Amino acid sequence: MIEQALTKCGVALRVKITVKALLSVGIIALAVILPQLVHLALGAPGGVQWLPMYLPILLGGCLLGWKWGLGVGILSPVISFAITSLLGDPMPAAARLPYMMAELAVFAAVSGLFSRSIVKNGWMAFPAVLLAQVAGRLTFLAIAAVFQSVSPLSAGVVWAQIQTGLLGMVLQAVLVPFIVMGLRLLLIRDKE
């Protein structure tokens, strides 16, 4: 969505890359900070229920497209892990990190595939988010099933986590599209 807005404004490639890089850094920062705030307020169970890192990743995919979104999806849990490890309480846990990297990469890539469609029709943010959520959660479950003999996360544990996080997923399935549609309207108004 951002790519199309910048192209319509006629900005140079260098400016496009700078804007997308700055947005990516902001989204990654939000993906690191938001889970910390939820964990402070609600503890670890709050994180499993509300899935705070997912919201910025879904936004990133819708706004930045699949390529930049993919980078944000992969880097967010890695950077969060690195920063929080320095503070003594790694988030996500080391055993969960590869799963989150794969799951969030799928979230961002799938929602990012809809980026151009969202420019034309803001309501496309709804299927973008829903399909991204389903694909990401299925990826998490599939990876857990494949590696359950060598990982502490079995398919059963993952399925229980998916069920626990349904409320957070529903909330994000509503919030993210409305945020994206609002930003789309701002971008369209600025272009006219």
pLDDT confidence bin for 8, thresholds 50/70/90 = confident
Q: Please state the rounded mean pLDDT for residues 181-191.
A: 82
- Domain coverage including residue 60: 2-191
Q: What is the mean pLDDT of the chain?
A: 94
**Residue 14 in this model has a pLDDT that exceeds 70:** yes
CATH code, domain with 152: 1.10.1760.20
Cβ proximity of 61 and 107 under 8 Å: yes
Is 0.75 topped by the overall pTM? yes
pLDDT of amino acid 187:
85
Q: How far apart are CA 148 and CA 156, in angstroms?
A: 9
pLDDT of amino acid 44:
87
User: Per-residue pLDDT tens for 39-78?
Assistant: 999 998 999 999 999 999 999 999 999 999 999 999 999 9
Q: How far apart are CA 59 and CA 69, in angstroms?
A: 9
Domain count across the chain: 1
